[in-house]
Chain A
Amino acid sequence: MKVYQEMFEALSNEMGKTIVGQQEMIEQITIAIMCDANALIEGYPGLAKTMSVKTLSDLMDLRFSRIQNTPDLMPSDITGTYIIQEKEGKREFVFQPGPVFANIILADEINRATPKTQSALLEAMQEKQVTVGNSTFKLDLPFFVLATQNPIEQEGTYPLPEAQADRFLLKIKVGYPSLEEEEKIVDKYAGELVQHRPKPILTKDKLFKLQEITRKVPIATDIKRRAIKIVTETRNMKEKIEYGASPRASIGIILASRARAILKGRAHVSNEDINAMAYPILRHRIILNFEAERQGLTTDDVIKEVLAKIKG
């Protein structure tokens, strides 16, 4: 485990050369990648969401592509399409792959795309393949979609339905940097420009091995039961929650906790991992009722309450 911890420390240090702060976001994106899952990143503009994902893909030596979602974006703009190509005097249809054919996809402002386009992307996320016409194309592995969305400017957007949001393992909330961090950001980017090209730290093979190891991290029976109880409690807490999390959340919380344990250099899942991962796992999977909204509660407040109720 020490080897992996050192590797993540190196990854974090290298990211720190480009990104100031946002440690939690970087950690959670790494967890999603380790779990071979997708993540939804929510935050205000200018919080280094896109830059973080781009830097991470550089550090992992993975193919990166970015899709800027707009209401007029078509599914074929993402998946790719057949184009007529002339070859040896003959014209034939040749498949032109879209930006989805990469390892890390940054779907910027996913809620601005139409549901039809969102569905095309979500299908690729789920099946790890794309069907265009009669042909099915397997996507190159590893394949992750890191989608971002803006909590403001909801006009003209198509918010992800809960069923589709459920397919993202984590919903990562990006907060504002602290005063000291912002000062560093200003010094770094408002002064003389120093181009820094991140060096790859994690190869594809290492990443596959890491994904394999993640699923092998042992968990104590009582900790596992607690994680499941936390998820099921969201279904029983009728006074504040209208719809609770699905069993996919139970799978997610255990898997993400395993990944976090490796990140922290532990060979076992701790209750601390469960508590930390409950927020990004559950926050997009529970819908608060009117009473909770009337009290001005957020999903994070309710999750905190659930965690306090089911102590480890």
Chain B
Amino acid sequence: MKQFRYAVSEINNTLNSIILFDVFLSTVILFLIIYLVLLVIGYSGLYSIIPSLIYLAVMMAIKSRENKVRTVEKKYPMLDERLRTAADNVHLENEVIDELDRELIGEIKDVETSSFLDTRKSSMKIITSITLCFIILLLASFEIQPIKFDPVVHRIIRGLDISGKSNESSNLAMGGPVGAGDVSLEGEIFGQSAPVKFSRREEKIQIGTTGYEVNVRNIRDARPQEFQEQFPEEIFVESAAAYEENIPKEQQELVRNYFKKLAEAEK
């Protein structure tokens, strides 16, 4: 009976739409909650897309497997067992099934789509979503960052790290000895973040990027250069013979020592 097949198909489609709407609302709430948490702890809120999408996929997979006919039967006990029997045997055709289908078509007309939509629950979800949106907007506009979570996270990550450095870092945090290559993670990596002070006046220093200007017109082929070999002149000391000639032999030793000391003094 084609009419009943359409009815079953319509039930499935309608309930799927309602389920999709409900799961979507829950996903939005989850997204906003995670977004808010990430915003508060100083991370990008866009990361909340990942768990939200996972939730959406999982919930849709679970909900789509639910027997829609059973859902209708729960709401309408008068259809109990009959609707699922007809739905399970929708591919069969005989006088008994046709009669069952005829009975059901008359009764299915009384089934209201709105009865499957929990308006109170949906309204609550929508209100929650709007409230969360407002909170996020307020936090974003006032740049409120109540918890500085970065160092804590880093400390936890470092604490979990099995390398030796992490221990030293922990030592640092606790005021222990620091090695030559250690970097404190408590402050900025460039040292103090405070501006430089000259006398009483406060100066702000801005570090700009280094410019590399290349004049393309000046680029030429490399020319061969000639180099001349120049060696320094050799220095010879000839004084020994000069003062030895006219100085008596007994004083020559004295004079030699004198020049020696003189030379040393010059060095």
A contact set with B: CB distance below 8 Å = 1, 213, 216-223, 267-271
Q: Which residues of B contact A221 (CB under 8 A)?
A: 84, 88
Instruction: Name B100's contact: one of A213, A218, A270, A271 (CB within 8 Å).
Output: A218
Q: How far is the CA of A281 from the CA of B139 in the complex (A)?
A: 71
Whether A223 and B85, one on each chain, are in contact in the complex, defined by CB atoms closer than 8 angstroms, is yes
Given A218-B88, A218-B100, A220-B88, are A268 and B82 also a contact pair (CB < 8 Å)? yes
Q: Give per-residue flags for B62-99: 1 if the beta carbon is below 8 A from chain A beta carbons, else 0.
A: 00000000000000000001101110110010111101
* Closest Cβ–Cβ distance, residue B94 to chain A (whole Å): 4
Whether B88 and A216, one on each chain, are in contact in the complex, defined by CB atoms closer than 8 angstroms, is no
Name the residue on B nearest A214 (C-beta): B96
Q: Which residues of B contact A223 (CB under 8 A)?
A: 81, 85
Whether B95 and A216, one on each chain, are in contact in the complex, defined by CB atoms closer than 8 angstroms, is yes
Given A213-B95, A216-B96, A216-B97, are A270 and B89 also a contact pair (CB < 8 Å)? no
Whether A217 and B88, one on each chain, are in contact in the complex, defined by CB atoms closer than 8 angstroms, is no
Main secondary structure, interface of B, reads: helix
Instruction: Name A268's contact: one of B92, B94, B95, B100 (CB within 8 Å).
Output: B100
Q: Which residues of B contact A270 (CB under 8 A)?
A: 81
B107 at interface (Cβ–Cβ under 8 A)?
no
* Closest Cβ–Cβ distance, residue A121 to chain B (whole Å): 34
B244 at interface (Cβ–Cβ under 8 A)?
no
Q: How far is the CA of A222 from the CA of B87 in the complex (A)?
A: 12
B residues contacting the other copy or chain, number (CB 8 A): 15
B103 at interface (Cβ–Cβ under 8 A)?
yes
Instruction: Name A1's contact: one of B85, B94, B96 (CB within 8 Å).
Output: B96
* Closest Cβ–Cβ distance, residue A214 to chain B (whole Å): 9
Q: How far is the CA of A270 from the CA of B85 in the complex (A)?
A: 9
Name the residue on B nearest A271 (C-beta): B81
Pick the 9 closest A-B CB pairs, nearest first: A267-B100, A268-B85, A218-B89, A220-B85, A216-B94, A220-B84, A216-B96, A221-B88, A267-B99
* Closest Cβ–Cβ distance, residue B74 to chain A (whole Å): 14
Q: How far is the CA of A156 from the CA of B208 in the complex (A)?
A: 117
Instruction: Name A267's contact: one of B84, B88, B103 (CB within 8 Å).
Output: B103
Q: How far is the CA of A267 from the CA of B108 in the complex (A)?
A: 16
Q: Which residues of B contact A268 (CB under 8 A)?
A: 81-82, 85-86, 100
Q: How far is the CA of A271 from the CA of B73 in the complex (A)?
A: 14
Whether A213 and B96, one on each chain, are in contact in the complex, defined by CB atoms closer than 8 angstroms, is yes
6 intermolecular pairs with C-beta atoms under 8 Å apart: A213-B95, A216-B96, A218-B88, A218-B96, A219-B85, A267-B82
Q: How far is the CA of A285 from the CA of B89 in the complex (A)?
A: 30
Name the residue on B nearest A261 (C-beta): B96
Name the residue on B nearest A221 (C-beta): B88
Q: Which residues of A contact B95 (CB under 8 A)?
A: 213, 216
Name the residue on A nearest B89 (C-beta): A218
Instruction: Name B81's contact: one of A1, A213, A220 (CB within 8 Å).
Output: A220
Q: How far is the CA of A86 from the CA of B92 in the complex (A)?
A: 58
Q: Which residues of B contact A267 (CB under 8 A)?
A: 82, 96-97, 99-100, 103
Q: Which residues of B contact A271 (CB under 8 A)?
A: 81
Q: Which residues of A contact B96 (CB under 8 A)?
A: 1, 213, 216-218, 267
Question: What would 12 more interface pairs be, CB under 8 Å, given A213-B95, A221-B84, A267-B82?
Answer: A1-B99, A216-B96, A218-B88, A218-B97, A219-B89, A220-B84, A220-B85, A221-B88, A267-B96, A267-B100, A268-B100, A271-B81
Q: How far is the CA of A220 from the CA of B85 in the complex (A)?
A: 4
Q: How far is the CA of A268 from the CA of B82 in the complex (A)?
A: 6
The interface centre, meaning the residue of A217, A218, A221 with most chain B CB atoms within 10 A of its CB, is A218
Q: How far is the CA of A216 from the CA of B89 in the complex (A)?
A: 11
Q: How far is the CA of A221 from the CA of B87 in the complex (A)?
A: 10
Q: How far is the CA of A271 from the CA of B92 in the complex (A)?
A: 21
Name the residue on A nearest B90 (C-beta): A218
Name the residue on A nearest B93 (C-beta): A216
Q: Which residues of B contact A220 (CB under 8 A)?
A: 81, 84-85, 88-89
Name the residue on B nearest A270 (C-beta): B81
Given A213-B95, A267-B100, A267-B103, are A218 and B86 also a contact pair (CB < 8 Å)? yes
Q: How far is the CA of A71 from the CA of B22 in the complex (A)?
A: 74
Q: How far is the CA of A3 from the CA of B94 in the complex (A)?
A: 16
* Closest Cβ–Cβ distance, residue B254 to chain A (whole Å): 128
Instruction: Name A269's contact: one of B85, B94, B97 (CB within 8 Å).
Output: B85
